[in-house]
Amino acid sequence: MRTTERKQGMQALQGIRILDLTRLLPGATCTMLLADLGAEVLKVEQPGEGDYNRSFEPINKKESGSFLLLNRNKRSITLNLKHEEGKEVFRRLVKEYDVVVEGFRPGVMDRLGFGYEELKKLNPRIVACSISGFGQNGPLRMASGHDLNYMALSGALQLFGTKETGPIVPGLSIADVGGGSLMAVYGILAALIARDRLGSGQYIDVSMFDGIVTWLALHGADYLFAGIEPKGGERPFIGAAPCYNVYKCGDGGALSLGIIEEHFWERLCDEIGEPDWKARQWATGEDARVQFEKLSALFRSAPRDEWVRRLEAIDVPVAPVNSVQEAFAHPQAVARGLLYECEHPVEGKIPQLGFPVKLSGTPAAHRLPPPLLGQHTEEVLGSLGYSESDIRTLREREAI
């Protein structure tokens, strides 16, 4: 891994200040993506406990590995939002910041006295973003849930697996990140642009359920336009097509075959000596079963990497099913800077996942290591005009 030097020059979101009240993956990912682009993100954490991610295994020295990968470029203060003096600190912060992001259930911010109507009284330009499972209205608005539940309810979960296995647990938090984090980033950026044009902020209601439903365009078309209910293993791009599938190889590894275009399929057919298959790329039923069984037997005849090299040589869409270790070490990941190291005041040298978007003029940059719990409390309160004596009193009264 290489150490990334701090980039110089203007960043896209430089000057934007964000208050992050979130405690789990959706909010943490959202605010880190914004922070990487130059936004000043201040985590507002519960005294003593902080972000729930801090306690998730594996623990490195003192901090959670997942916390360390989700919170670079942020500062942290501790603040008791149920304490009146803690509320007053937050009011002062809202007046000076641009965005508030929270991930509580609907109604919690109102009960704390910080619903959007109150926030905009403090700062008419504030952009407030709520990330929740089911949104701020509807019969499930108060329902508990996590990523797997949103995937299940949306119709997305049953696309994973086969008729034999039934739905399986996806290996990634797709609804959390794809339906929550990324949609929140999208909404916040849109609201900031609108504020520049209109002069006022607005409220953003992000539902992870809503977000993942919008991912159903490809398979939703089967139902909406053809009346076909798509299920895992029964439609072309979710396990039914031999040309678009995963195969085990002779050494126990696996490869992915991702052939859509006809010319790629024809190359494969020539390579494996099956010219009669060229006109039957999207075979179904017994024909598809025969193709799949022949391809399965063929790929089991040699090790994974041998097959990958052979198919890459004829420019067929193929990729090894990598372990995480293999993925991080892959030359493509190295070339794209997808893993680097930074220094942390307690953890020492720690790995970081690289920046997913490369901007030519205002690139993402590493500025700060993930913060310790409350690391910047005194600094931030001092900037608000609190004296050292004031801060001691607030701490004694458990307001911070």
Q: What is the mean pLDDT of residues 372-381?
A: 98
Q: What is the length of the chain?
A: 400
> Is the model's pLDDT at 5 over the cut of 80?
no
Is residue 341 domain-resident?
A: no
CA distances from 245 to 232, 258, 304 (A): 12, 7, 14
pTM here is 0.95
Chain segment 35-46, per-residue pLDDT in tens: 999 999 999 999
Indicate the residue among 310, 329, 348 that finishes a domain. 329
Q: What CATH code is carried by the domain that includes residue 102?
A: 3.40.50.10540
Last residue of a domain, one of 281, 310, 329: 329
Structural domains of the chain, count: 2
Give domain status of residue 222, yes or no: no
Question: What pLDDT score was predicted for residue 6?
Answer: 41
User: Does 263 lie in the same domain as 126?
Assistant: no
* 35 and 184 both lie in a single domain: yes
Parallel, antiparallel or unpaired: strands 161-162 and 166-167: antiparallel
% pLDDT > 90, the chain: 97
Question: Both 74 and 34 in a single domain?
Answer: yes
For 87-120, write each residue's pLDDT tens digit. 999 999 999 999 999 999 999 999 999 999 999 9
Cα(120)–Cα(363) distance, integer angstroms: 32
Same domain, 298 and 389: no
Q: Which residues are identified as catalytic?
A: 176
Are 121 and 195 in the same domain?
yes
pLDDT beyond 60 at 3: no
What's the whole-number average pLDDT of the chain? 97
Q: Does 342 reside within a domain?
A: no
Q: Domain range for residue 178?
A: 17-215+356-397
Q: What is the CATH number of the domain that holds 280?
A: 3.30.1540.10
Burial 102-122 (b: 16+ CB within 10 A, else e): bbbebebbeebebbbeebbeb
Q: Is 323 in the same domain as 362?
A: no
Q: Is residue 223 part of a domain?
A: no
**What is the average per-residue pLDDT within 40-60?**
96
Q: Are residues 193 and 257 in the same domain?
A: no
Q: What span, in angstroms and rounded, lies between the C-alpha atoms of 50 and 56?
A: 12
Q: Which of 313, 329, 345 is the endpoint of a domain? A: 329
What's the one-letter identity of residue 268? L
Q: What is the tens place of the pLDDT at every residue in 312-348?
A: 999 999 999 999 999 999 999 999 999 999 999 999 9
| Residue range 82-87: mean pLDDT, rounded | 98
Handedness of CA 284, 285, 291, 293 (dihedral sign): positive
Q: Is the pLDDT of residue 297 over 50?
A: yes
In a domain, 349, yes or no: no
Query: Is there a domain that residue 207 lies in?
Result: yes
Give the least confident one: 18-22, 160-164, 389-393: 160-164
Query: Within this chain, do residues 175 and 303 fall inside the same structural domain, yes or no?
Result: no
Q: Quick one: CA dihedral 164, 169, 175, 177, positive or negative? A: negative
Q: Is residue 187 located within the same domain as residue 256?
A: no
Question: What was the pLDDT predicted at 8?
Answer: 57
Residue 9 binned pLDDT confidence (cut-offs 50, 70, 90): confident
Domain membership of residue 274 (yes or no) is yes
pLDDT-above-70 percentage for the chain: 98
- Same domain (yes/no): 35, 162: yes
Shared domain for 73 and 134, answered yes or no, is yes
Confidence of residue 1 (pLDDT cuts 50, 70, 90): low
Q: Are 80 and 400 in contact (CB under 8 A)?
A: yes
Please check whether residues 145 and 263 belong to one and the same domain. no
| Number of other CB atoms surrounding residue 101 within 10 Å | 27
Is 63 part of a structural domain of the chain? yes
